[in-house]
Chains A and B, each alone.
Chain A
Amino acid sequence: MPDRAGLFGASKAESTLLVLFIPSVDRDQAAIDQPVWVERALEVLGRLFGGATAFPQGRGVWRDDAQGGRLIFDDPVVINCYTSEAALEASAAELRQFLVRMGTETKQGAVGLVIDRDYLEIRFPLPGAENG
């Protein structure tokens, strides 16, 4: 693999893409404070991985199989963060803490993320969590 960082005199090169989806509604399709969660996500990703970029809202849908396949439509903000597998492993606990907090406080059915080509979900309620 050519040394692209060296070619451009770059001091950093990361090759693992982490993508987060920041929702705009909760599981009942009620609006959440999305800008606040976008800022919180950027703060976490900036601190843990050195940087991230949030893109303007797209149009999204998620099928809530726990609610009989109900379609939840929203306008997510997608955040890209280039990092490394080693950094992800080292910071997985804190990243999970943020994702669980967002999913719980904004009443999500699941929080979605992409690592390279794999789409992952953390589903709610968490196993062993109490209702309400």
Chain B
Amino acid sequence: MAKNINKLVALLGAEVVGQVPDVGGGAFGAARLARLLRARLEPAQGQRPGRPTNPTWTRHPKVPMSEATERALAELADRLSTPDRKVSPMQVAAQLLEDAVARYREEEVGAQKG
């Protein structure tokens, strides 16, 4: 979020209607997230085929979150799903988490290199 968004809103004489997901790239970030999820999710083989999942997601820890975040994830999953490929809120959460951690590690490595 822009640090001085309220000032910019006042200068532009506009109203803030809402926020876009933090997936990088501004308004195109949501499209990027959708592509990422559809590309990485594969239908499971064997036990419970049907709901696609990322084969590298082998851990399933519980992650605390607020009700507002849970609702936002559900809305995002709705928007990212298509008739051919349904995405669950927790799959969206998992992808966002992986992206955030990867970005943090890149910045940390970058900072260490000076």
Judged by a CB distance under 8 angstroms, whether A121 is at the interface is yes
Report A16 CB to chain B, min CB distance, Å. 6
Report A95 CB to chain B, min CB distance, Å. 7
Nearest A-chain residue to B4, judged by Cβ? A85
Which residues from chain B contact A123 at a C-beta distance below 8 Å? 15
Judged by a CB distance under 8 angstroms, whether B49 is at the interface is no
Judged by a CB distance under 8 angstroms, whether A80 is at the interface is yes
Q: What is the size category of the interface that chain A forms with chain B? A: 20 to 34
Judged by a CB distance under 8 angstroms, whether B18 is at the interface is yes
A116 touches B26 (CB 8 A): yes
Which residues from chain B contact A89 at a C-beta distance below 8 Å? 4, 7-8, 11
Q: A114-B27, A119-B19, A120-B17 are in contact. Are A95 and B12 (CB under 8 A)?
A: yes
Judged by a CB distance under 8 angstroms, whether B75 is at the interface is no
Q: CA A90 – CA B19 in complex, angstroms?
A: 23
Which residues from chain B contact A77 at a C-beta distance below 8 Å? none
B5 touches A116 (CB 8 A): yes
Q: What is the size category of the interface that chain B forms with chain A? A: 20 to 34
A121 touches B8 (CB 8 A): no
Judged by a CB distance under 8 angstroms, whether A17 is at the interface is yes
Which residues from chain B contact A25 at a C-beta distance below 8 Å? none
Q: CA A102 – CA B11 in complex, angstroms?
A: 17
Q: Mark A1-45, 1 if CB is under 8 A from B, else 0.
A: 110100100000000110100000000000000000000000000
Judged by a CB distance under 8 angstroms, whether A118 is at the interface is yes
Q: CA A17 – CA B9 in complex, angstroms?
A: 15
**Told that A92-B11, A120-B15, A122-B13 touch, could you supply 4 new A-B pairs with CB distance under 8 A?**
A92-B8, A100-B13, A117-B26, A120-B16
Could you name 28 residue pairs across A and B whose Cβ atoms are closer than 8 Å? Answer: A1-B111, A19-B26, A78-B28, A80-B28, A85-B2, A88-B2, A89-B4, A89-B7, A92-B12, A93-B11, A95-B12, A96-B11, A96-B12, A96-B13, A99-B12, A114-B26, A116-B5, A116-B26, A117-B21, A117-B26, A119-B16, A119-B20, A120-B15, A121-B14, A121-B17, A122-B12, A122-B13, A123-B15
Counting from the closest, the 3 A-B pairs by CB-CB distance are A2-B110, A92-B11, A17-B26
